[in-house]
Amino acid sequence: MSLKIAIQGIRGSNHHQVAKDYFGEDIALVECLSFDSLVDHVLNRRADKGVMAIENSIAGSIIPNYALVYQNNLHIIGEHYLNIHHNLMVYKGQTMEDIEEVHSHPMALLQCKEFLKAHSHIKLVEAVDTAETAQRIQREKLHKIAAIAPKAAAQLYDLDIIASEIQTITNNSTRFIVVKTQNKELPKTEINKASLRFVTDHKRGSLATVLNVMSDCNLNLTKIQSLPIIETPWKYAFFVDITFDAYDSFEKAKSLLHIMTEDFRVLGEYKNARI
């Protein structure tokens, strides 16, 4: 039986691409129209694993997704980076002059800002998913409306690409994580990256002390993000990603951070996808 992989979005979306890159072609895709629904599917075992975007080189972290992982006790068992390519696609035969509206995910609209500025007669409409509009254009034979979506969506839904690679920054990389209800039993020798969450108080230098310990244990910080804890003023939660060469170093740091911080949790231990 194929592995059931939940993605945000539908066939032809960037999440679909990541699922194929990571798991291969032999998967049963579970299309979810929100990240909440994706998490529900994983928790209720209607999917074996889930793929979700977690940060983007232009827009930064998708904090609500960090919160979903944390609050639902999901484990990050892997990561994948995808270079995002945005393409403007339309119903067969339509041209740039015909287009009155472009529909796409807010993140995609943001990432094509400069291109869209240069075609200011086109109205921007936010949509739930990049590929979903492509599908709808074909199904409802929509004229005057363009989608911004990956090339795969144009092939899948038989649309014409009238402008390709329209993203503002060409090196537009998005990081995705693979989540599961239980931690995957990866051999310790293969683990060289981890995602952590911990809380420190507002005392001067408390974060510096934590980072010193990490540095002493030979951990490299690849990401840090503070988030005030809403219910508790003056406390901060930190989401931190680290890479390391030896699992032993990480284990030592873990036992120290358990003592030094509050609510210390390892959100996942996995293999670094970026060498």
Minimum CB separation of residue 41 from a copy of itself in Å reads 15
Minimum CB separation of residue 24 from a copy of itself in Å reads 27
Contacts of residue 11, defined as CB under 8 A and 6 or more positions apart, other chains included, come to 29, 31, 131, 135, 156
Enumerate helices (H) and strands (E) in the chain, giving the number of each: 9, 15
Nearer to a copy of itself, 108 or 162 (CB): 108
Nearer to a copy of itself, 47 or 127 (CB): 127
3 state SS of 180: strand
133, HSE (Cβ side, Cα atoms, 13 Å): 27
Terminal CA-CA length for the chain: 32
118 binds a copy of itself (CB under 8 A): no
What is the spatial distance between Cα 206 and Cα 98, in angstroms, rounded to a whole number? Answer: 58
Window 157-196: residues binding a copy of itself (CB under 8 A): 169, 171-173
Window 2-31: residues binding a copy of itself (CB under 8 A): none
201 binds a copy of itself (CB under 8 A): no
152 binds a copy of itself (CB under 8 A): no
106 binds a copy of itself (CB under 8 A): yes
What is the spatial distance between Cα 222 and Cα 134, in angstroms, rounded to a whole number? Answer: 35
Nearer to a copy of itself, 136 or 184 (CB): 136
Neighbours of 223 (CB within 10 A): 15
Task: Note whether 51 and 22 are within 8 A (CB).
Answer: yes
Minimum CB separation of residue 107 from a copy of itself in Å reads 10
Window 202-241: residues binding a copy of itself (CB under 8 A): 202, 204-205, 207-208, 211-212, 214-215, 218-228, 230-231, 238
Q: Which amino acid is at 172?
A: N
Task: Note whether 103 and 133 are within 8 A (CB).
Answer: yes
Nearer to a copy of itself, 244 or 270 (CB): 244
Which range binds a copy of itself by CB under 8 A, 86-94, 125-133, 180-188, 252-260?
Answer: 125-133
Which of 250, 144, 264, 109 minimizes the C-alpha distance to 191?
Answer: 250
Q: Residues in the site for a copy of itself, rule: CB under 8 A?
A: 36, 57-61, 63-64, 67, 106, 110, 113, 117, 126-128, 169, 171-173, 202, 204-205, 207-208, 211-212, 214-215, 218-228, 230-231, 238
